[in-house]
Amino acid sequence: MSRNRSRRAARRPRLLLALVVVLALTACGGGGAVSTQPAAAGPDGDWVLTSGTAPAGALVLVDGSPVTLTVKGRTVSGRAACNSYSGDVAASGGGFRPGSIAMTEMACTDPAVSALERGYLDAFAAVTTATAATDRLVLTGEGVELTFRREAPVVDRPLEGTRWVLDTAFAGETASSVVGGSFLRLDGGDLTGNAGCLDFTGAYRVDGDALTVTGLRRPEGTTGDCDQDASVQDSLLRGFLTGPTITVGIDGDRLTLMRGGTGYGFTAAP
């Protein structure tokens, strides 16, 4: 088994908002038997939204801010234009009813992206059925229709040689946004990065899913002034990296570094 494949099985954090979006597990009204649908036409896979109608009206897609959905049995995840989400569904035949959904807390500064995210989540909450074909998935409910096209699965990016951009901090069951500009790159035992304030270098070793960082330091002569948020993040992330062994998880273009209930999430740079 390759090193990268073994990381996929590493524990992934459960992302929870202070205010969790709870979606009804049972469809409103009706309550009749769910129609039968061949397993080969099920919704499992990676999908990207191409059009949608929410209870408040048509969704307006935004270039560069896709809405995605990954279905694996009774679990779902994806990106709601800005934030990442994950949760569960009650699925049987053509029935598809979302349950509790958790999200990250990234700030969405573009009003159009924020509107798309809200509209999509409202629509997803009202979904009761799924109709899937080889390359098309349609989720429907009262006043709702979400149409997706199938995406090719994202190949796991290698831990080493990839520039990983920090986007999420985990503390217990809470996920929060971070100061932009932070990144990590591991290459041949040498580590470089930025924790939110100033650049740093160091060394590392990898043993299966375990990452150990040593000798973390600033490049000689590095100075600079940082605002309070950046300074706090810088101190916390550097302290995290230089602590005991870190558990590594890679899923597609996502990297998660965890130690107990504390950790950080990264996305691979293009």
pLDDT at 203: 97
Taking the whole predicted model, whether its pTM rises above 0.75 is answered as no
The residues pairing with 110 across neighbouring beta strands, listed in sequence order, are none
The Cα 80–Cα 103 span in angstroms is 9
* Neighbouring residues of 252: CB distance < 8 A, sequence distance ≥ 6: 153, 154, 155, 156, 157
Contact between 237 and 166 under an 8 Å Cβ cutoff? The reply is yes
User: How far does CA 127 lie from the centroid of its chain?
Assistant: 21
Helix boundaries (H) for the chain? 3-8, 111-125, 228-241
Per-residue pLDDT of the chain (270 residues; tens, 9 = 90+): 334 433 333 434 433 333 233 333 333 333 333 333 333 457 999 999 999 999 999 999 999 889 999 999 999 999 899 888 889 999 887 899 999 888 877 777 789 999 999 999 999 999 999 999 889 999 999 999 999 999 887 789 999 999 999 988 888 877 777 888 899 999 999 999 999 888 999 999 999 999 999 999 986 655 667 888 888 999 999 999 999 999 999 988 889 999 998 999 999 998
**Which residue type, as a one-letter code, is found at position 248?**
V
pLDDT at 219: 66
Contact between 197 and 232 under an 8 Å Cβ cutoff? The reply is no
Domains of the chain: 33-151 (2.40.128.270), 163-268 (2.40.128.270)
Contact between 160 and 188 under an 8 Å Cβ cutoff? The reply is yes
The Cα 43–Cα 91 span in angstroms is 10
**Which residue type, as a one-letter code, is found at position 197?**
C
Residue whose entry in the numeric block shows the structure tokens 């459960």: 14
pLDDT at 252: 85
pLDDT at 181: 86
Look at residues 5, 13, 14, 262 and name the one whose alpha carbon lies nearest to residue 159: 5
The pair of structure tokens assigned to 33 is: 């038997």
